[in-house]
Chain A
């Protein structure tokens, strides 16, 4: 018989509502400005930032310097623009019927 472990926690607790907002990061991945709601955990934003920065950096190394990128998840669209090493990242929840 298994026991429920009430103390086990996820790495990040996700908000019920997906965030709408924009944040900018510098080339070190530090968030310098944000319009994200307080309910959206900072570690989640940092994880997104790190993923985006690595993608831009490796693209440059592959001689394919990107100016922007968009990734669609079932419920969230992440759009990022390169800012000379840093980036500005837009998070937008997707509604049904959106491409």
Chain B
């Protein structure tokens, strides 16, 4: 009896993009050592990577962000549209939450910092393994493990122009974004705000980011955070007979708080913002090492209050400080202490107004 010949599974192909030739050499060897079956190609520029992707089929793309001419974001944006099946990973030395948010908004599967320890290297290799496994798995391709509110915020904060297609079972909805604003939504026979509220009621499903539709007529005029807050109110009123927040609602409320913080961070001149208290988790935007900065903020404000009491100087006002790059303001606001990073170019009066406005907004 003739043996049935099974088609051999092709070796997984990985494309590694970075402008550092030495990095490419080391990581190529590392990937080959880990998985000798895989084929690893390298590209030193974004253009070269796109040319290779046009010419060959790859399973996973590992891309740096900071590259000359065509940077990683440009490469990933093109890849997301032209090669939606390709698994993508950002591997960068830039530790920045805004870059991370922007990368996830584009639709990358993973955002990792370049490993600096053997443990991190192992984690990187495991992530590659998982991505290679996921690329052969069936199922929906989308932005996994994120709530709908997260996805919407990411689109808004990255000032995206796109269409978000959301599916839950047989139901389908679409949300249109233009330069970070939500301009319309549709589901079943609903449009505009009502459709948006209906879509946000869905607790699970799949997401897909589609190319923008610039001709789409605007039917939603509220700012996105206002829209999310209003929608949360509507959902709370209709869904919450008990006084307690459910797990999903708590997550939702947390997301809305983050949205408020992010909105404050969009104020002109603001580079970062952090809110901290003894009891609650740190909330921050644009801060690299939030926990440490939060601790310093609390200690510093406490220390100057104590000095005021000890020397009978009265209550300390804001702590106005500066680094070589920016102004740093520490101020009490209700039960929280706020740390603001502001551009150094702000004039004193402008600085005062910006701080007062931010604190007022935060308090409200």
- Interface positions of A (Cβ within 8 A of B): 11-12, 14, 44, 47-48, 51, 54-55, 58-59, 61-76, 99
Given contacts A64-B328, A74-B313, whether A48 and B296 have CB atoms under 8 Å apart is: no
Stretch at the interface among B36-44, B45-53, B319-327: B319-327
Does B352 contact A99, Cβ atoms closer than 8 Å? yes
**Among A11, A12, A66, contact of B321 (Cβ-Cβ < 8 Å):** A66
**Among A12, A51, A61, A65, contact of B303 (Cβ-Cβ < 8 Å):** A51
Q: List 8 A-B contacts (CB under 8 A).
A: A55-B319, A63-B288, A65-B323, A68-B322, A69-B321, A70-B319, A71-B319, A73-B314
Does B300 contact A44, Cβ atoms closer than 8 Å? no
Does A59 contact B318, Cβ atoms closer than 8 Å? no
Contacts of A65 in B (CB 8 A): 323-324
Does B316 contact A71, Cβ atoms closer than 8 Å? yes
Contacts of A76 in B (CB 8 A): 313
Q: How far is the CA of A99 from the CA of B320 in the complex (A)?
A: 12
Stretch at the interface among B191-199, B255-263, B304-312: B304-312
**Among A51, A59, A70, A74, contact of B315 (Cβ-Cβ < 8 Å):** A74
- Interface positions of B (Cβ within 8 A of A): 288-289, 292-293, 295-296, 299-300, 303-304, 306-308, 310-324, 328, 352
Contacts of A14 in B (CB 8 A): 311-312
Does A63 contact B321, Cβ atoms closer than 8 Å? no
Q: How far is the CA of A47 from the CA of B316 in the complex (A)?
A: 15
Contacts of A55 in B (CB 8 A): 300, 303-304, 319
Known contacts A11-B310, A14-B311; 7 further A-B pairs (Cβ under 8 A): A12-B311, A14-B312, A48-B307, A55-B304, A65-B323, A67-B322, A74-B313
Does A47 contact B310, Cβ atoms closer than 8 Å? yes
Contacts of B352 in A (CB 8 A): 99
Does B295 contact A68, Cβ atoms closer than 8 Å? no
Give A40 Cβ to nearest chain B Cβ, in Å: 10
Give B327 Cβ to nearest chain A Cβ, in Å: 10
Contacts of A11 in B (CB 8 A): 310
Given contacts A55-B300, A63-B288, whether A70 and B320 have CB atoms under 8 Å apart is: yes
Does B292 contact A61, Cβ atoms closer than 8 Å? yes
Give A2 Cβ to nearest chain B Cβ, in Å: 22
Q: Which of A68, A73, A75, A76 has the most CB of B within 10 A?
A: A73
Contacts of B321 in A (CB 8 A): 59, 66, 68-70
Give A85 Cβ to nearest chain B Cβ, in Å: 16
Given contacts A62-B289, A69-B320, whether A75 and B296 have CB atoms under 8 Å apart is: no
Given contacts A47-B310, A67-B324, A71-B304, whether A62 and B293 have CB atoms under 8 Å apart is: yes
Using CB atoms, name the residue of chain A closest to B352. A99
**Among B295, B308, B312, B319, contact of A62 (Cβ-Cβ < 8 Å):** B295
Does B315 contact A73, Cβ atoms closer than 8 Å? yes
Closest 4 A/B residue pairs (Cβ):
A69-B321, A74-B314, A73-B313, A72-B317
Given contacts A58-B296, A63-B289, A64-B293, whether A44 and B311 have CB atoms under 8 Å apart is: yes
Q: Which of B289, B304, B306, B314 has the most CB of A within 10 A?
A: B304
Give A41 Cβ to nearest chain B Cβ, in Å: 9
Does B292 contact A72, Cβ atoms closer than 8 Å? no
Give B287 Cβ to nearest chain A Cβ, in Å: 9
Give A20 Cβ to nearest chain B Cβ, in Å: 14
Does A63 contact B292, Cβ atoms closer than 8 Å? yes
Does A75 contact B314, Cβ atoms closer than 8 Å? yes
Does A71 contact B317, Cβ atoms closer than 8 Å? yes
Given contacts A47-B311, A54-B303, whether A73 and B316 have CB atoms under 8 Å apart is: yes
Q: How far is the CA of A35 from the CA of B134 in the complex (A)?
A: 70
Using CB atoms, name the residue of chain B closest to A72. B317
Using CB atoms, name the residue of chain A closest to B287. A64
